[in-house]
Amino acid sequence: MAYDVFVYAYPIIPSNGTNSTDMYDMVYRGVSEGYFLAGNCQDLGGTNYTEPERQKYLQAILAWKARFIADILLYNFTDYVLRPSVDKMFYRPKGDLSYQYWGSSPYVPELDLTAYQNFALLGLGQWQTLQSEEPGIFNITEVWLPNNTDAFHDYRKLARYAQFLIQPGEGEIGFPEIVTRNCSYPLQISAKMQHLQGKIHDLIVDYYIYLDQGNITIANATLAKVTVMWPELQRWVVAKSWPKQIQYVIDSFLH
């Protein structure tokens, strides 16, 4: 999201006069919580969910919405988000930033670079992270185990936002100008990989929902699909030379 791209332009100020909570962090965590809860509710769509289950997730979303709107009014989030600095940068610890953007990158923007050069620096960090993490992700065996699923899902999200920075999707912010040559084929491979990863991730989520419901037979059948589709994706990534596609994009960024 644009908020993450421009994080270094947002002043580090307390959310109020009595604590040291960073206003940026409050907005970021609030939005992230809503995104997470909405995703949980959406995940029910592929399963035989019950009305009480739907209501549980719905009430969680409505409670978050009420809290977030109250915080918007109390702390004037809107004014803060709409007023980034145009001539200063504010450096936060990498661990406080979104992993899909500057949080996983070894770089920080610089005032003496142009806007496009700084966006290219962000993209370079994203794709270098995809490169460094690729062997570990695609050598996972039991991808349905929670820690493995989280790593797998984070890699997919990083690939999606790294692609959007160059080739923006609907409602996303991106800058095609930050690459110096045509990257359409590597981005096409990235998009297909994300699609295949998404189908596997949806099945893993369904698997755990069925387990929680006590539908062991359906859960086992769902897991069986994962155990077939994951090795197929691993082979597909090799066949499409995904590491080579990553390197092509890395070598294409504006300096």
Q: CB neighbours of 124 closer than 8 A, spacing ≥ 6? A: 105, 107, 250, 253
The pLDDT assigned to 46 comes to 67
The pLDDT assigned to 143 comes to 98
Closest CA to 80 of 1, 11, 28: 11
The pLDDT assigned to 47 comes to 72
Q: What residues does 154 pair with on adjacent strands? A: none
Let me know if 19 is exposed, middle or buried by CB neighbors in 10 A (0-12, 13-18, 19+).
Answer: exposed
Determine the 3-state secondary structure of 221 from DSSP. helix
Q: What are phi and psi of 110, to 5 degrees?
A: -130, 140
The pLDDT assigned to 18 comes to 47
Q: Where are the chain's structural domains?
A: 1-98, 111-255
The pLDDT assigned to 1 comes to 63
The pLDDT assigned to 101 comes to 94
Rounded to whole angstroms, how far apart are CA atoms 158 and 164? Answer: 10
What averages of pLDDT result for each successive group of 10 residues across the chain (255 residues)?
86 63 85 88 75 87 95 90 91 89 93 95 97 97 97 96 90 89 97 97 94 95 98 98 98 95
- Kindly state the DSSP code that residue 177 receives in the 8-state scheme: G
Contact 176, 167 (CB under 8 A): yes
